[in-house]
Chains A and B, each alone.
Chain A
Amino acid sequence: MTFIMILYYVMTAYVVGMLIWNFIKTKDIKSEILYALALLPLILRLLRMK
């Protein structure tokens, strides 16, 4: 795995963390669903599934 690829995984983990933080903080159901949907591809990438 190249250095730049490792950096991209770190960035992905950071964005996942921020999305989870926003998911916890928000009280709006539409935002909660939106954050959950946005998390989906990023989690699949972090778990190296797709």
Chain B
Amino acid sequence: MMRKWIILAVLLLVVLAGGIPLYIHRNFKEEVVAGEGVTGFFKLSKYFSGIEGTIADTDVFELKGSEEGGKMLIIAGTHESEPSAALAAFYLIENLKVDRGTVYIIPHFNRSGSLGTQPGGGFPLYFSMETPWGEKTFRMGDRGFQALDQWPDPDVYIHYPEGQAMSYIDARNTNRAWPGRPDGLYAEQVTYAAMEMIKKEKIDIVIDLHEAEAMYPVTNCIVVPEKSMSYATGASFYVKGREKFENHVERSPTAFRGLSHREIGDWSDAYPFLLESPGVHLDQITAAKTPELIMDGIDPFVLKAAEKGLLFVPYDENGFSMDRRVGQHSSVIQEIVVQWSKKNPERGLTISAPRYKEIVDNGLGYFFKDPSKADKSDVYLQ
């Protein structure tokens, strides 16, 4: 009998040692300080009450300019294992100035995914960056909804409304669930709510921020359907010519359903753009998945792959840092807006925030405000 108690005690210790850090991570709050540009804050459930009070509901920041103009929605955290997206959103919430038009920012579109890491993925629970006022810590997340929140998975995920059969795991993937439906899985309900927002607010531009592996061809690029192509091409040329970084354009496939860059354009009047920056922590061949790897993007095995010509991005011993990835997102977003506003002056936007070079030169942490010194009403917990 004593033996059984010892085994149970060991089991309890393992449950507590393994479970408590996961519980703390799930309840850890990131702090974002609303910048001067933020004029409003509400829940996405404003557009679909079916997600109110559920894990599918999420925060929306509104940045409205003094002059009427077009509208842009920036979605980050579709895949929460791609952290430069959420960091770019936090950065824009704290730094973006909007003179004309309205910008909406959702930092954690897949909130459930932001509350846990990929089982078996070996990712750290947190990563941090240096700022002038100290260390700022963020949660690492998972690609899809947590099974804690959306369970069980179907044997095969059938996309609505096209009926395309996909892997079971994509039932929890918010970038296979567009345009969504009100009575579907949580991943479908949150995309449905966003589609309702896009239609009701008459959003012109939708930006969906991502990261992709350096060994995956659709990386370091802007993925667009036909109607967004000219704007993306203009932005791509500009950042390559003027800001000296590569960001090519990929055409959104018409036969692959559920993706933001396909369905948003097909089911609304908005022009979608999916931005990919290279997150080498996502590559399978890396050494340990450490917080430093997430931040610096420096890995000896990825470098070896680069020497053998196996990567789809320029890569050297300097890696692909978070500063560069967020800097790219900032510049490409702003240049898409410039291209859009040139061709649609009546629906144009005028926005500004530090771009690629300034972020890389100063470090991303330089641009984050100290929550302890900010007015409490400006600090939002994410």
Contact = CB atoms under 8 A, between A and B. Distances in A.
B18 A8 contact: no
B15 A48 contact: no
Interface in B95-130: 116, 119
B12 to A, nearest CB: 9
Contacts of A4: 152
Contacts of B11: 36, 39-40, 43
Nearest to B10: A36
Interface residues of A, number: 18
A36 to B, nearest CB: 5
A24 B7 CA distance: 11
A5 B54 CA distance: 14
Contacts, number: 47
A45 B8 CA distance: 18
A33 interface: yes
A3 B278 CA distance: 40
Contacts of B310: none
Contacts of B116: 50
B381 interface: no
Contact of A50 (B3, B8, B148): B148
B7 A32 contact: yes
Contacts of B10: 36
Contacts of B119: 50
A4 B154 CA distance: 11
B4 A48 contact: no
A contacts with B: majority SS:
helix
Contact of A5 (B8, B20, B23, B152): B152
Nearest to B20: A49
Contacts of B15: 40, 43-44, 47
Given A44-B18, A49-B22, A49-B23, A24 B4 contact: yes
Given A23-B4, A49-B23, A8 B14 contact: no
Query: Interface residues of B toward A: which range?
Result: 20 to 34
Nearest to A35: B7
A33 B20 CA distance: 22
B256 interface: no
Given A23-B4, A24-B4, A40-B11, A8 B151 contact: yes
Contact of B3 (A24, A29, A40, A43): A29
A36 B8 contact: yes
Interface string B1-43: 0011001101100110011101100100000000000000000
A48 B22 CA distance: 10
B118 to A, nearest CB: 11
Nearest to B148: A48
Nearest to A43: B15
A32 to B, nearest CB: 5
10 contacts: A4-B152, A5-B150, A5-B152, A44-B18, A45-B148, A47-B15, A47-B23, A49-B26, A50-B18, A50-B19
> Closest 8 CB pairs between A and B?
A49-B19, A36-B11, A49-B22, A36-B7, A50-B22, A49-B23, A5-B151, A32-B7
Given A36-B7, A43-B15, A49-B20, 8 more contacts: A5-B150, A23-B4, A32-B3, A36-B10, A40-B11, A40-B15, A44-B22, A50-B22
